[in-house]
Structure 1
Amino acid sequence: MSLTITPLPAFRDNYIWTLHDERYAVVVDPGDAAPVLAFLKARQLELVAILVTHHHHDHTDGIADLLAAIPVCVVYGPRHETIAGVSHPVSENEVIEIPALDLSLTVWDIPGHTRGHIAYLGADGVFCGDTLFGAGCGRLFEGSYAQLHHALNRLAALPAETRVYCTHEYTEANVRFALACEPDNPDIRRRQIATAALRAAGQPSLPSTIALENASNPFLRCAVPAVIQHAEAHAGHILSDELAVFTALRQWRNNF
């Protein structure tokens, strides 16, 4: 049976990505159990695993209620963070096998947003939590600019067709910032139009692809002259390398 990946909206702008066939399901970052339980009931699916990328409450608060309803469910989460309910801590290059869905996922450590943030690679995509967003990236809460920049560069090097399953619907706002960084980039202009049409139709702007992010996400374009020029103009001084450009962009975005 083929695998389907469905975004379940939660809170104001979260998505709980649900990987499923006609019998079984896996969910990623269930901050709220209610939409997951409703989806499982409506589709008559059995939840076999939960995947967690980091410890923030809007990614983890639904775990307890899901385990209360489905106690045999396995919960994977970052080895370097403490998260209630995680039964299988995982870290860099570990491989998770989910036989019910014939699914194999590889774990990457991608710290920056939080100290122990991880991603799951598989199903022709990457489930990257709050590290890489549509046309943007996560804020720094615990890690360093260097860590987040390195994590984003790793993700940017994935195959172009890799689908990007991040967990917030931030693309419209991020595209506006991207245009401030690189106003003459036609890929950003096209993305703005496409995103607006999707959102107006009540559709998610996600998943994106690594190709689209590399073409339109300023945080992956720190070596592009126009991005450097606008980052330096905003910072008010010369930026000596790509990390300095990334740092200036992230600080600019914080108050954009």
Structure 2
Amino acid sequence: MPLTIHQFRCLSDNYGYLVRDEATGRVAAIDTPDADVYAAELDRLGWGLDLILNTHWHRDHAGGNAALKARYGARIVAPGEVTKTSPIDREVRDGDTIELGETRFAVIDTGGHTLGHVSLHDAADGVAFVGDTMFTLGCGRMFEGTPPQFWASLGRLAALPDATRIFCAHEYTGSNLRFARSVDESAALAARAVGLEAKIAAGEPTVPTTIGEEKATNPFLRAPGLAIAAGAKDAADAFRIVRAAKDDFKG
């Protein structure tokens, strides 16, 4: 049976996710930006909470762990770095599997934003929860990792089937689109921008996206072919150049 995904806004620009395995009724929170908002959504839906699955340690992803665990008795399953923010019940790393009833999440190493960042891929339902590794037309800031590490992480996500729906953690698409247009004049980006601008103007989510859409239009995945990265030593260096340009972008 399928996975039900409940998506909602919290904090200033985060997306919260509650996922329910329909075969068993077991529920997981993907990250915990705001415990009160998550609890309100759970209570409104009439769901319990069995697991908390963190992508990385930042407080806007793991800050609600303790309160939600205390309220619902959920087990916290996360990369080891999350102990900087809260205790965890099970540490996971690349290649591990997390079971939520009959749903299976493969843990993928997507370090770069933080060193131990992971993403969670449910192949049966064709979805991945990627935290701050990839956004619609963007990627996270490189707070702890290196360009080769982050580029390899993006490559692991890009290797997923093109139809995979990508659920990222923030609504940053407006600024990401402005930057993308400043470095990429491709027809694919121009065509995609029309639909994204309409959603932004209407206040609608631009998430989820898909791997195929991001491979075609995300400037970080396209970095080696962009003029801004001409002269880069290799693909990872091209990514470094584009990431640095976005860090300095004022548009």
With over 3 angstroms needed to count, the CA separation of the structure-2 counterparts of 1:48 and 1:81, relative to structure 1, is closer
Give SS of 1:188's match. Answer: helix
User: What's 1:50 paired with?
Assistant: 52
Q: Which runs of 5+ in 1 are unaligned?
A: 233-237
Q: Is the 8 A contact 1:8 1:35 kept in 2?
A: no
Give the Cα–Cα distance (whole angstroms) in 2 for the partners of residues 112 and 35 of structure 1: 28
After superposition, the C-alpha distances for 1:185-216 in whole angstroms (9 at most, x for unaligned) are 12212222212222233321001000000000
User: What's 1:235 paired with?
Assistant: none
Give how far 1:27 is off. Answer: 1.1
Percent of pairs with identical residues = 37
- The correspondence of residues 128-139 of structure 1 with structure 2, limited to 5 A, is 128-139=130-141
Q: Is the 8 A contact 2:27 2:100 kept in 1?
A: no
Runs of 4+, deviation exceeding 6 Å: none
Q: Is the 8 A contact 1:175 1:191 kept in 2?
A: no
Matched, 1:252 2:245: yes
Give the Cα–Cα distance (whole angstroms) in 1 for the partners of residues 109 and 80 of structure 2: 9
Give SS of 2:70's match. Answer: helix
Matched, 1:143 2:141: no
Q: Is the 8 A contact 2:54 2:82 kept in 1?
A: no
User: What's 1:230 paired with?
Assistant: 228
Query: What's the C-alpha RMSD, in Å, of the aligned pairs?
Result: 1.5
Give how far 1:80 is off. Answer: 4.6
User: What's 1:116 paired with?
Assistant: 116
Give SS of 1:219's match. Answer: coil
Q: Which runs of 5+ in 2 are unaligned?
A: none
After superposition, the C-alpha distances for 1:204-239 in whole angstroms (9 at most, x for unaligned) are 100100000000001111232xx1x2334xxxxx32
Give the Cα–Cα distance (whole angstroms) in 2 for the partners of residues 79 and 163 of structure 1: 26
Give how far 1:240 is off. Answer: 2.5
Please report the TM-score for the alignment, with normalisation by the length of structure 1: 0.90
- Count of residues paired in the alignment: 244
Q: Is the 8 A contact 1:172 1:192 kept in 2?
A: no
Give the Cα–Cα distance (whole angstroms) in 1 for the partners of residues 203 and 182 of structure 2: 26
Give the Cα–Cα distance (whole angstroms) in 1 for the partners of residues 82 and 146 of structure 2: 16
Give how far 1:21 is off. Answer: 5.6
- The correspondence of residues 1-256 of structure 1 with structure 2, limited to 5 A, is 2-20=2-20, 23-71=25-73, 73-82=74-83, 83-99=85-101, 102-122=102-122, 123-183=125-185, 185-224=186-225, 227=226, 229-232=227-230, 238-256=231-249
Give the Cα–Cα distance (whole angstroms) in 2 for the partners of residues 57 and 80 of structure 1: 12
Give the Cα–Cα distance (whole angstroms) in 1 for the partners of residues 21 and 118 of structure 2: 25
Query: One-letter code of the match for 2:238?
Result: V
